[in-house]
Amino acid sequence: MSNLRIEKAQQYLRDHGIDLWLIVTAEGKDIHSPFLLGARCFGRHAIIIPKDGSSVAICTLMEAPMARKAKQIEEILSYKKSEEFIEKLREIVYKISKKPVIALNYVENLYKEGGEAINTLTHGDYLALRKIFPDATFVSAQGLLENLRTIKTPEDVKLHEKAVEIALGAMEKAVESIKPGITEAEVAAEAEHFMRKRGATPSFPIIVASGPNSADPHHETGERKIQEGDLVIIDLGAEYKLRVSDITWTVYVGENPPELFQRMFNAALEAQRKAINAIGPGVEAWKIDKVARDIILKHGFKEEEFPHSTGHPIGIDVHDIGPLLGERGKSKRAEMKLLPGMIVTVEPGIYIQGKGGVRIEDDVLVTEKGHRVLSRTPDKLICI
Ligand SMILES: [Mn+2]
């Protein structure tokens, strides 16, 4: 059984003098479990990745067959009683090393440096592990997780492409459904229905922001009826086999958009396309943001009318770890370099309170030579 993710993790463990990587979790609290297992187990279970040799998981009797069928972890053991879980865990770990150095899913400097998405070990699990392995040294799996999550394997990229394809289909359904009198919630339901039929779910609550609501980038979809003369922002993503997409289109309801709306759209589009063109390996993330921000300001829009970052990495979380396409100095993550295999969103927007907003968002893969746009936003303002 060959699993590129596990091979990468094992290489990292060997390079850093760590004996094993251990995940112990229950009730879906650690997203890295389905990422490695290929199945969602809710009972308490452990995944053990040793620096050499076979990967092992210990699952409940009920969930072990499901984990075996996923064929990601080489050996799946099962247990009935919690004592049995502890015994098996001790046996496997001490077979790897008598004084094990164990990587766990927490970050060292959370408040200063962030890393929420990978800080998934609970304090209770940590205390339990301290008791089970009194002579172990625990270290953070942060570097390992950053490596595994930010740089996508070819298989990851395929799953992201599928998540994008489903999101684009859902977007087309949503746009087709727009007419004066339909509510934001009804438009969102059309998109979600499309995703569900294709084995996907929304990767976050679908945003349909109409009229003045479109001036709030994170508007909560409600029961407002869409009217002629509205700008409508639709921001949605599909989660397919744990990989997410995140795209945004903006449309106008009516035949002739006012000059202001057309200017907003043209500026956002130019900012978005030029920011995408600046993406390539080795480029610091803030530089992409600067390209977009400078264009929006050049068009005469104010700083506060583009109040968010240009983009963020996506992966198994919508706002994943890695380089943030934001203003320099805003976060340490803005100084990080884009590397081949990363996927980021590019989503500049312009928002004018009381009038409306425009946002255009694509998902972009960084490649060895430059980039590849995985989604495709329209290059003109769609008028319905
Ligand atoms: Mn986004």
Q: How far is ligand 1, taken at its centre, from the CA of residue 65, in Å?
A: 36
Q: How far is ligand 1, taken at its centre, from the CA of residue 376, in Å?
A: 14
Q: How far is ligand 1, taken at its centre, from the CA of residue 269, in Å?
A: 16
- 214, 248, 301, 367 from 233: Cα distances, Å: 6, 7, 19, 29
Q: What is the pLDDT of residue 330?
A: 83
Question: What DSSP state is assigned to residue 313?
Answer: B
Q: How far is ligand 1, taken at its centre, from the CA of residue 345, in Å?
A: 6
Q: Of 115, 149, 183, which residue is a domain's last?
A: 149
Q: What is the pLDDT of residue 308?
A: 97
Q: Which positions ≥6 away from 207 have C-beta within 8 Å?
A: 188, 218, 219, 220, 221, 233, 234, 235, 236, 248
pLDDT, tens only, 327-380:
998 888 899 999 999 999 999 999 999 999 999 999 999 999 999 999 999 999
* Residue 59: strand, helix, or coil: strand
Distance CA 345, CA 90 (A): 43
Domain match, 167 and 145 both: no
Q: Check: CB of residue 324 under 8 Å from CB of residue 331.
A: yes
pLDDT band (50, 70, 90) for residue 93: very high
Q: Give percent above pLDDT 90 in the chain.
A: 94
Q: What is the pLDDT of residue 1?
A: 54
Q: How far is ligand 1, taken at its centre, from the CA of residue 347, in Å?
A: 7
Domain match, 56 and 127 both: yes
Q: Check: CB of residue 353 under 8 Å from CB of residue 214.
A: no
How would you classify the pairing of strands 137-140 and 101-104? parallel
Q: What is the pLDDT of residue 128?
A: 97
Report the CATH number at residue 278.
3.90.230.10
Rg of the chain taking only CA atoms, in angstroms: 23
Domain match, 282 and 350 both: yes
What's the whole-number mean pLDDT along residues 168-197? 98
Q: How far is ligand 1, taken at its centre, from the CA of residue 260, in Å?
A: 24
Q: How far is ligand 1, taken at its centre, from the CA of residue 344, in Å?
A: 9
pLDDT, tens only, 125-147:
999 999 999 999 999 999 999 99
Mean pLDDT of the chain: 96
Q: Give percent above pLDDT 70 in the chain.
A: 99
Q: Of 149, 182, 207, which residue is a domain's last?
A: 149
Distance CA 122, CA 128 (A): 10
Domain match, 292 and 330 both: yes
Domain match, 73 and 141 both: yes
Distance CA 346, CA 235 (A): 13
Q: How far is ligand 1, taken at its centre, from the CA of residue 246, in Å?
A: 5
pLDDT band (50, 70, 90) for residue 189: very high
Q: What is the pLDDT of residue 109?
A: 87
The set of long-range contacts for 75-83, using a CB threshold of 8 Å and a minimum separation of 24, is: 82/44
Q: Residue 302 pLDDT > 90, yes or no?
A: yes
Domain match, 206 and 244 both: yes
Q: How far is ligand 1, taken at its centre, from the CA of residue 362, in Å?
A: 8
Could you write out the DSSP letters of every residue in 213-242?
A: GGGSTTPPP-SPBP-TT-EEEEEE-EEETT
Q: Of 113, 133, 149, which residue is a domain's last?
A: 149
Q: What is the pLDDT of residue 116?
A: 85
The predicted model scores a pTM of 0.90
Q: How far is ligand 1, taken at its centre, from the CA of residue 340, in Å?
A: 20
* Residue 165: strand, helix, or coil: helix
Q: Which of 106-110, 173-177, 209-213 shows the lowest mean pLDDT across its residues?
A: 106-110
Report the CATH number at residue 129.
3.40.350.10
Q: Residue 154 pLDDT > 70, yes or no?
A: yes
What's the whole-number mean pLDDT along residues 192-220? 97
Q: How far is ligand 1, taken at its centre, from the CA of residue 312, in Å?
A: 7
Q: How far is ligand 1, taken at its centre, from the CA of residue 17, in Å?
A: 37
Domain match, 268 and 129 both: no
Domain match, 32 and 108 both: yes
Q: Give me the helix-helix angle, 259-277 and 285-298, nearest 10°.
A: 150
Q: How far is ligand 1, taken at its centre, from the CA of residue 277, in Å?
A: 18
Q: Check: CB of residue 23 under 8 Å from CB of residue 44.
A: no
What's the whole-number mean pLDDT along residues 214-224? 97
Domain match, 178 and 120 both: no
Q: How many domains does the chain have?
A: 2
Q: What is the pLDDT of residue 2?
A: 63
Distance CA 6, CA 50 (A): 10
Q: Please give the residue range of the domain that contains residue 206.
A: 154-383
Domain match, 174 and 74 both: no
Q: How far is ligand 1, taken at its centre, from the CA of residue 140, in Å?
A: 28
Q: How far is ligand 1, taken at its centre, from the CA of residue 384, in Å?
A: 24
Q: How far is ligand 1, taken at its centre, from the CA of residue 88, in Å?
A: 42
Instruction: Spell out where 128-187 has E strands.
Output: 137-140
Say which residue, 329 or 222, is predicted with more confidence. 222
Q: How far is ligand 1, taken at its centre, from the CA of residue 289, in Å?
A: 14
H/E element holding 76? strand 75-79
Q: How far is ligand 1, taken at its centre, from the CA of residue 138, in Å?
A: 35
Q: How far is ligand 1, taken at its centre, from the CA of residue 226, in Å?
A: 23
Q: How far is ligand 1, taken at its centre, from the CA of residue 361, in Å?
A: 7
Q: How far is ligand 1, taken at its centre, from the CA of residue 68, in Å?
A: 34
